[in-house]
Structures are given as structure tokens and as C-alpha cells.
């Protein structure tokens, strides 16, 4: 296929299932070349479900020799196939960038011929982009499991962020649904990235696990790499992320949260993304095509992830052996509080910061504000709203100057009922036909092509983006 626009259409569409491309906090000023990557995050636009939209998210190729059951690009699926030439994609990215359609590139790929063959072509494209076209924008590159250490290293020197998808939450599921992928092929590159970042002083302490210093940096979008120096070769300064498919296999939420915790601890991941499985296959090993994607479950897992990273919870606390699945009706912090009701109520004026962070309705910012304010005067219940506390939740779990505001009883069933009715929680899933991520071409104006065959106009308004699911490398 020679037409670049046709390739773009196929390969941007094929990439839409990958969710692990949020922004990162890289800060790089324009140095006479083209583009900036700013600390506040390259992805300034977010879809309604919180996903970024201003990267060119694309596969290098969707010609895949693997046959992962959950993937629309698998070898045995009858879809249109295409591959970019390195020059084509480098040029296309620059065309988009110059027109302000994008602020960076998220480059992923299927496995054409072999991991090294594909990765070398991706590397060639990235080199052209960085060195020939002088592109200084953000680049997030997906690493193909099984790629050689040398190629990975070179890609890391050019990219801002790397990711290797863990894909499925257990070795058994991986063996069943993606038999060509090996656990070692996934963990080895993760380990290499972690070791290189550590050697270069870009990773210190517990990564993104609960840690006050890290929390402030993450929230303020400050560069987490103080030790960057002009003389150092930068290797993936925005660190690494990974993605897990949820609902394609039988693992419990407890298993998933425990794996996430281990990924944060072992590999110092910046993020672990979850991707609700949208059925695209008739494989008997997978949920049938009419199954609703588990979007609420995905949402609860993201909330659990937040508790792991910023609130000091452990995986065992979030989902224990008796409760291996997260409550779909309540966020995991409330669920934990109700299971541990004997720890409440907590007096706002004497609780430690760690205790405050465990109270439903109190976030990281409001917890710090409480600690600051009470140095000068006791915090009253009426002050809490101004501080940013969600009092309709917090009131069941706190006392203020000794007084309880949660009603007649501090009983889990009663509190749950009250919270659900106050929040008017409706567990509506989106209609099945909306549970797909739209393609930029679904709503695009007919794109105009310039004389050289590259896009000169396209509607990239993908703000109604609904959902992503499957991993494509
Ligand atoms: S998940 Fe990746 S490797 Fe597996 S079939 Fe899809 S594109 Fe190929």
C-alpha cells in the first residue's frame, strides 16, 4: 500500500485500543529545533473519560506474526493491513506537528517478522524525526517484548517515555491467550529500563508508590528528575508505564491490584493502566462478543491504583482474601473504611496525616490543608467544606472537636445506604454500541491531501472518545 493517508487511517485506527499514553511531566524547552515538551504535560487535551488526545497515537505496522486472542490485529483476524516506511511516519508526524494537530507521538506496533526487525524500523523512524527533522516534541514508544537490549537502549535514548505492556494479570492467562509472548520477554525489558534509569539517577526512592515527596511532584507536574544534567545522555526521562487488560481473563481484582503494587515496587512504574476488554473475537477462551466491557470495574481499579500510589494503602488492604473483587457500587476507599469501621470515627484535629488520608471524602490536598490550619486553630466542621473536604462522605467517619455529624449510628450498612442515596449513584453502563473508542476518521472531515500526499487538514476533535481496551504493542 503506497498511500500514506490510507496507512494512517488503518494504523491510527489499529492503535486506538492502547490506553497507556498519558502525559508525563517532561520539561524540555525549544532549543532552536522544533517543538517543546512542557512540564505541565504534553497532552493538554483530554477526552471525557480522562484520556489524552493530543498525541499522534499510531502503530508502525499492524502486520502481526503473533496471534493474541484478545487483539484485533492478531495474525488470524481478517483486517486491512499496512506498514509505514520509517521516512513516511517521520514526515507525517512532522506534518501533523507543524499544523498544531499534535504535541507528540505515541508509537506502538504489532510484530512484523520479529521483534527486532520491527523495533529497528521504529528506531530508524525515531532517529529521522529527532535528528533529521529536529523534532523536540514528546515521544512515547512502546517496547516490543523480546526486543534486543541494544535496540531497546537506543530507543530509550530518543524517547521520553517507554512502556512494555504486561497484557494479562497472570502467567497462566498469558500462556492461554497470548502463547507467543513470554513472561521473560515482558519483564526483561522492564528490568533493563529500570536499571538504566536507576544507574543514571533518574529513579530514587519508591517510584510512584506512596511517598510525600513524590506525591507533590506528581501533582504539581514538576519534573521528577532533579539530577538531569546537560552532559548526561537522557534515557526515557519520563520513565516507564505498562497496561493490563481487564476482564479478558478470570483474575480477581485482588490479583490485579497486587500485581500493580509489585510493578510499582519492582520496576518503579510511573503508571499501570487498566483497559476494560471489549470483545473483538469469537474465541471460546474469551467473553463472547455481546459481553459488556467492564468499564465500572476498570474505573474502580483506577481508584484503587490511586490509593496505592498516593494514599498509603497496600494491595492487601484494598482487596483482601474475603473480598477479592472491588465493590462496584462504592469507591474502594469507602469500602475499606466500611470493612474497618472500628477505626472510625477519627478526630480531625488530632489525626496524623496518614490517618486523615484514609478518611473517605478527604483528599491529599485537603488532608494537608487540615494539618496546616489546625496549627493555628481547631478545625470546625463548617471549615471542612472550604478546605475541600467532601463532607457528605467524610461526616460518617470523623469527629470535629469531639462531635460526630454522621447521624444516629456508625454502622456500615446504614452508612453505605446513606452514601449511595446521597450520591444518587447510578451504575449505568454505556450502551454497547458506545463502548468503542471512536476513530479520528469516524468524525473527520474528509481530509485534504497536499501535493506530497501528506495530510493538510483533518478534524482531530476526538473529545468524545469513549473507551479503549486492547493492548497493541
Ligand atoms: S497484541 Fe500485539 S503482538 Fe499480540 S496480536 Fe496484537 S499486535 Fe500482535
The rounded Å distance from CA 84 to ligand 1 centre is: 17
Are residue 9 and residue 155 in the same domain, yes or no? yes
On whether the CB atoms of residues 242 and 165 are closer than 8 A, the answer is yes
Q: Is 68 in the pocket of ligand 1 (CB under 6 A)?
A: yes
Are residue 185 and residue 302 in the same domain, yes or no? yes
More confident residue, 55 or 473: 55
On whether the CB atoms of residues 313 and 307 are closer than 8 A, the answer is yes
For residue 14, which of 440, 465, 433 has the smallest C-alpha distance?
A: 440
Q: Is 70 in the pocket of ligand 1 (CB under 6 A)?
A: no
Are residue 308 and residue 240 in the same domain, yes or no? yes
Mean pLDDT confidence for 183-191: 95
Cell 523480546 sits on residue: 146
Are residue 308 and residue 345 in the same domain, yes or no? no
Q: Torsion angle of alpha carbons 332, 334, 338, 343, nearest 10°? A: 110
Mean pLDDT confidence for 102-129: 95
Nearest CA, atom 7, ligand 1: 110
**Can you give the pLDDT at residue 374?**
95
DSSP assignments along 195-234, one per residue: HHHHHTT---TTTTSS-HHHHHHHHHT--S-TT--TTSPP
Q: Rounded to an integer, what distance in angstroms lies between the CA atom of residue 291 and that of residue 289?
A: 6
| Cis geometry, peptide bond prior to residue 345 (ω within 30 degrees of 0) | yes
Are residue 14 and residue 62 in the same domain, yes or no? yes
The pTM of the full predicted model, rounded to 2 decimals, is: 0.80
More confident residue, 256 or 473: 256
Q: Is 108 in the pocket of ligand 1 (CB under 6 A)?
A: no
Helix (H) or strand (E) holding 404: strand 403-404
Q: Rounded to an integer, what distance in angstroms lies between the CA atom of residue 93 and that of residue 190?
A: 27
Mean pLDDT confidence for 92-110: 90
Q: Is 310 in the pocket of ligand 1 (CB under 6 A)?
A: no
Are residue 37 and residue 6 in the same domain, yes or no? yes
| Contacts of 458 by beta carbon, 8 Å cutoff, 6+ apart | 101, 440, 444, 445, 447
Whether 432 is in a domain gets the answer no
The rounded Å distance from CA 243 to ligand 1 centre is: 13
HSE-up of residue 160 (Cα within 13 Å, Cβ side):
30
Q: Kindly report, residue by residue over 233-245, the tens digit of the pLDDT.
A: 789 988 999 999 9
Q: Is 275 in the pocket of ligand 1 (CB under 6 A)?
A: no
For residue 139, which of 88, 181, 89, 99 has the smallest C-alpha distance?
A: 89
The answer to whether residue 115 scores a pLDDT higher than 70 is: yes
Q: Is 74 in the pocket of ligand 1 (CB under 6 A)?
A: yes
Q: How confident is the model at residue 408 (pLDDT cuts 50, 70, 90)?
A: confident
More confident residue, 52 or 115: 115
The answer to whether residue 348 scores a pLDDT higher than 60 is: yes
Residue 470 CA: which ligand 1 atom is closest?
A: 1
Mean pLDDT confidence for 68-87: 94
Helix (H) or strand (E) holding 154: helix 149-158
Nearest CA, atom 4, ligand 1: 68
Q: Is 66 in the pocket of ligand 1 (CB under 6 A)?
A: yes
Q: Which domain holds residue 336?
A: 332-423
Are residue 366 and residue 345 in the same domain, yes or no? yes
**Can you give the pLDDT at residue 428?**
43
The answer to whether residue 172 scores a pLDDT higher than 80 is: yes
| Contacts of 323 by beta carbon, 8 Å cutoff, 6+ apart | 254, 335, 339
Are residue 211 and residue 153 in the same domain, yes or no? no
Q: How confident is the model at residue 282 (pLDDT cuts 50, 70, 90)?
A: confident
Lowest mean pLDDT among 5-14, 357-366, 427-436: 427-436
Are residue 267 and residue 152 in the same domain, yes or no? no
Q: Rounded to an integer, what distance in angstroms lies between the CA atom of residue 59 and that of residue 15?
A: 5
HSE-up of residue 239 (Cα within 13 Å, Cβ side):
26
Q: Is 280 in the pocket of ligand 1 (CB under 6 A)?
A: no
| Contacts of 239 by beta carbon, 8 Å cutoff, 6+ apart | 24, 161, 162, 193, 197, 202, 203, 224, 268, 269, 270
**Can you give the pLDDT at residue 460?**
28
Q: Best mutation site among 15, 16, 68, 245 for ligand 1, i.e. most ligand atoms within 8 A of its Cβ?
A: 68
Nearest CA, atom 2, ligand 1: 472
Whether 148 is in a domain gets the answer yes
Give the CATH number of the domain where residue 25 resides: 3.40.50
| Contacts of 105 by beta carbon, 8 Å cutoff, 6+ apart | 55, 56, 58, 93, 129, 137, 138, 139, 140
**Can you give the pLDDT at residue 43?**
41
Q: How confident is the model at residue 12 (pLDDT cuts 50, 70, 90)?
A: confident
Q: Best mutation site among 13, 15, 73 for ligand 1, i.e. most ligand atoms within 8 A of its Cβ?
A: 73
**Can you give the pLDDT at residue 33?**
57
**Mean pLDDT, the chain, whole residue set:** 80
Amino acid at each position: 500500500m503506497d498511500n500514506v493517508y490510507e496507512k494512517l487511517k488503518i494504523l491510527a485506527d489499529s492503535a486506538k485500543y492502547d490506553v497507556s499514553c498519558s502525559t508525563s511531566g517532561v520539561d524540555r524547552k525549544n532549543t532552536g529545533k522544533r517543538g517543546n515538551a512542557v512540564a505541565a504535560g504534553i497532552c493538554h487535551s483530554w477526552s471525557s473519560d480522562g484520556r489524552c488526545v493530543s498525541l499522534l497515537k499510531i502503530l508502525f505496522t499492524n502486520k502481526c506474526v503473533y496471534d493474541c486472542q484478545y487483539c484485533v490485529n492478531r495474525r488470524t483476524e481478517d483486517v486491512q493491513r499496512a506498514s509505514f516506511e520509517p521516512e513516511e511516519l517521520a514526515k507525517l508526524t512532522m506534518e501533523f506537528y507543524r499544523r498544531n494537530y499534535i504535541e507528540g507521538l505515541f508509537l506502538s506496533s504489532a510484530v512484523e517478522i520479529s521483534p527486532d526487525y520491527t523495533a529497528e524500523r521504529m528506531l530508524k523512524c525515531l532517529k529521522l524525526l529527532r535528528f533529521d527533522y529536529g523534532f523536540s516534541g514528546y515521544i512515547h514508544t512502546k517496547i516490543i517484548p523480546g526486543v534486543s537490549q541494544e535496540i531497546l537502549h537506543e530507543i530509550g535514548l530518543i524517547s521520553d517515555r517507554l512502556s512494555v505492556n504486561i497484557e494479562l494479570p497472570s502467567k497462566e492467562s498469558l500462556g492461554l491467550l497470548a502463547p507467543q509472548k513470554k513472561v521473560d520477554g515482558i519483564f526483561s525489558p522492564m528490568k533493563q529500563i529500570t536499571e538504566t534509569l536507576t544507574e543514571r539517577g533518574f529513579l530514587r526512592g519508591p517510584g510512584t508508590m506512596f511517598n510525600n515527596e513524590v506525591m507533590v511532584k506528581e501533582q504539581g507536574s514538576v519534573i521528577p528528575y532533579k539530577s538531569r544534567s546537560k552532559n548526561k545522555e537522557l534515557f526515557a526521562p519520563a520513565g516507564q508505564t505498562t497496561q493490563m487488560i481487564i476482564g479478558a481473563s478470570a483474575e480477581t481484582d485482588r490479583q490485579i491490584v497486587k500485581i500493580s503494587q509489585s510493578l510499582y515496587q519492582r520496576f518503579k512504574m510511573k503508571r499501570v493502566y487498566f483497559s476494560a476488554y471489549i470483545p473483538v473475537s469469537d474465541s471460546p477462551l474469551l467473553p463472547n462478543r455481546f459481553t459488556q466491557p467492564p468499564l465500572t470495574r476498570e474505573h474502580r481499579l483506577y481508584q484503587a491504583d490511586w490509593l496505592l500510589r498516593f494514599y498509603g494503602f497496600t494491595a492487601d488492604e484494598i482487596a483482601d482474601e474475603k473480598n477479592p473483587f472491588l465493590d462496584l457500587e462504592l469507591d474502594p476507599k469507602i469500602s475499606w473504611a466500611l470493612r474497618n469501621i472500628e477505626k472510625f470515627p477519627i478526630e480531625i484535629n488530632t489525626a496524623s496525616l496518614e490517618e486523615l488520608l484514609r478518611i473517605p471524602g478527604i483528599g491529599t490536598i485537603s488532608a494537608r490543608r487540615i494539618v496546616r490550619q489546625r496549627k493555628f486553630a481547631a478545625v470546625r466542621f463548617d471549615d471542612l467544606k472550604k478546605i475541600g473536604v467532601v463532607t457528605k462522605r467524610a461526616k460518617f467517619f470523623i469527629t470535629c472537636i469531639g462531635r460526630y455529624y454522621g447521624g444516629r449510628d456508625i454502622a456500615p450498612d446504614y452508612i453505605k445506604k446513606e452514601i449511595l442515596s446521597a450520591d444518587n449513584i447510578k451504575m449505568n453502563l454505556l450502551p454497547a454500541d458506545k463502548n468503542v473508542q471512536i476513530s479520528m476518521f469516524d468524525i473527520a472531515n474528509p481530509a485534504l491531501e497536499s501535493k506530497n500526499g501528506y495530510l493538510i487538514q483533518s478534524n482531530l476533535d476526538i473529545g468524545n472518545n469513549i473507551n479503549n481496551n486492547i493492548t497493541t504493542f
